[in-house]
Amino acid sequence: MTFDALRNIVKQSIIDMPFNPGLQINTFHHLDGPPDLETSNFGASYKDYQSGRFWSRDWVVSGAEPNKLAGKWPYCGFEPGVLNTTDLQDGELDTYFDLLVVDILDCPDCPESMFRSDFMISTTTRQMLRMLLAEMSTYKLYQWLNDEDEDVYEWISQGRFDSLPGTDPRKLTGRPIEFFFVGEGMDNVKITPWGLTVGRRGHWARVPIKICEPVMVPFNYNHPAAPELATTICPC
């Protein structure tokens, strides 16, 4: 499991959420810091979209024009956490990721019969976060051969796999995503209320996980050594 794979699983799970006004996350954003909830694009750029770090349902459906980039509520922020390792040479790192789901009182797409209040927003953001975590927990890694006879590895949710045709070549390989969760994983996730701003409510969760990030490139020793490294006085 890599951070890129994890981010794409979160984003795909949001893309696959069923249409249900008030209970369908519309915007995904890979965060590097506190979320920007005061601007229409949530602080994202078109490069974020190109690199897979931003996605907004209505904006993408309407053509994803760079000069019209905008998000829409409800919003989900994804933020990787601090990496911990006991062996610098080991590619397996303990870390965590945070998921934040936020919504606002105003909901133009919701039916008039739906009474919305701060309490209701708090309830629906908690429900959306639980739905998202539950869908993510069904992902497994599959292997298949493409038209060039190359091995392809693909993370697929249980629901998507069940919708594939019976002759689909994908075979289960490796382990399900649950294997990478640390401790009790998603069986003991704390979902915490977030924000007390009038007209805006949210919930967030922190999930511990193991990430594979090996040291990729060996060092190059063809350069001459710096003369400053040699000294007649012991530097210890």
CA dihedral for 110, 112, 118, 123, sign (positive or negative): negative
Task: Tell whether 234 is covered by a domain.
Answer: no
Task: Tell whether 189 is covered by a domain.
Answer: yes
Task: Tell whether 236 is covered by a domain.
Answer: no
The mean pLDDT value for 54-69 works out to: 97
The mean pLDDT value for 179-186 works out to: 70
Of the given ranges (58-72, 86-100, 120-134), which has the lowest mean pLDDT? 86-100
The domain in which residue 141 lies consists of 3-229
pLDDT grade, residue 231 (50/70/90)?
confident
Q: Write the DSSP symbol of residue 84.
A: B
Distances (CA, A) of 206 to 50, 55, 98, 233: 26, 21, 4, 51
Task: Tell whether 30 is covered by a domain.
Answer: yes
Q: Write the DSSP symbol of residue 226.
A: P
**Number of domains, the chain:** 1
Q: pTM score, two decimals?
A: 0.87
Task: Tell whether 235 is covered by a domain.
Answer: no
pLDDT grade, residue 174 (50/70/90)?
low
